[in-house]
Homo-oligomer: A and B are copies of this chain.
Amino acid sequence: MTVRNAFYAQSGGVTSVINSSACGLIQEARRHPSLIGKVYAGRDGIIGALTEDLIDTSFESDDDIARLRYTPGGAFGSCRYKLKNLDDHRAQYERLIEVFKAHDIGYFFYNGGNDSMDTAWKVSQIAEKMGYPVVCVGIPKTVDNDLPLTDCCPGFGSVAKYVATSIREAGYDVASMSRTSTKIFVLEVMGRHAGWITAACGLASENTGEPPHILLFPEVPFNPEKFLVRVQECVDRHGYCTVAVSEGLADASGKLIADSGSKDAFGHSQLGGVGQIVAQLVKDKLGYKYHWALADYLQRSARHQASRTDVEQAYALGVAAVKLALQGKNALMATIVRLADAPYRWEIGEAPLRDIANVERKMPADFITADGFHITDACRTYLQPLIEGEDPPPYRKGLPDYVRLKNKAVEKKLMIFNI
């Protein structure tokens, strides 16, 4: 086989472990100099390919690449950009081939979620439909945990560990003060369509009465009356009530609660803030003082509290993607296959991109309790191993010591292309 270069890009919302996949991929590629020349990273994802804005990772030292394993965010930049379909928008694909040819790219690695696997799937068709030989492999990544055909998605386990830790800790705080001060605490977490992250909060509650007391899932239409009854019961019994709510909480008609309420000073509908809306509802109807927190990007970048399982899987998937590509396996995504729940055992698998692209995995109905306010034992069995293990980054001057790469650009060879 001849030596060819590889293209790697990060896509969609970044996570605290997507760079761990990049680390695994680049380290594995460097072990095969007779097959893979350089690894070019797309600056800001697939946009980097379309605009010929490539980063030459060979300028990064082995040490800095190793540091990617514990650095959050997307080291090469990411983007939300979905390629259109191949048949109607050939120009984009012709441009990709032009860039691939100019830089002798024979391997295309795409690290992302649903939309990204759709892009990867489309690119994987180039070889067949447009006659350019490129092996295309997907690497899963999404805090939303909504890709099918893999046990879980890198990024999710660390968010899960972070939110469960956070609501446990806040619960200790609220419990201390509830007699004379705040009785209600609401944590708003990500997950617009699926309640995986909200469910993960539930792991903090190992015994009855422990925070969080109530989970509000996007899968369960919000019923204010039922919710308020539950809050009152909780305050009566425990003296306080802690709630984790998904940003995607909606009413029976599917309308987001976040859109239902308040306008800001400028008359705009408020984005986000469902946590506050729910907390304010309690204050208005039951009169309890509340606090609320909005984890937002903190949850998906909290590398300091990453799950070791998650980090190891992200890394292993990066390595596996190179191995699959070197076997010539086109149009696949590397996956996690669960072998056992407890102790958790897993191995790397593979699944066709075609079966993954645009398919959203929902939470199983039996993961939510019958009353709609908590998780079941089946859910715990699934989630528990994903948050196991710690993997703290190194610290310098009291703070995590993350890497910033040089990200040196490859010299352009082509005309400008407007995406």
Contacts and interface: CB of A to CB of B under 8 A. Distances in A.
- Copy number in the complex reads 2
A169, A261, A395, A397 — which one has the most chain B CB atoms within 10 A of its CB? A169
B261 A169 contact: no
A81 B177 CA distance: 11
A236 interface: no
Interface in A129-174: 161, 164-166, 168-174
Given A79-B179, A168-B402, A203-B398, A392 B392 contact: yes
Contacts of A402: 168-169, 172
Interface in A291-309: 291-298, 300-305, 307
B262 A264 contact: yes
A192 to B, nearest CB: 14
A400 B165 contact: yes
A45 B178 CA distance: 12
A181 interface: yes
Nearest to A161: B398
Contact of A185 (B297, B305, B400): B297
Interface residues of A, number: 81
A293 B75 CA distance: 22
Interface in A20-35: none
Contact of A297 (B78, B174, B303): B174
A268 interface: yes
A176 B399 contact: no
Given A176-B74, A390-B395, A398-B387, A298 B295 contact: yes
Interface of A: 10, 13-14, 16, 44-45, 47, 71-75, 77-81, 161, 164-166, 168-177, 179-181, 185, 187, 203-204, 206, 260-266, 268, 270, 272-273, 276-277, 280, 284, 291-298, 300-305, 307, 384, 387-390, 392, 395, 397-400, 402
A395 B303 CA distance: 17
Given A173-B297, A294-B296, 10 more contacts: A75-B176, A161-B398, A161-B399, A166-B302, A169-B304, A203-B397, A266-B284, A272-B276, A293-B297, A294-B294
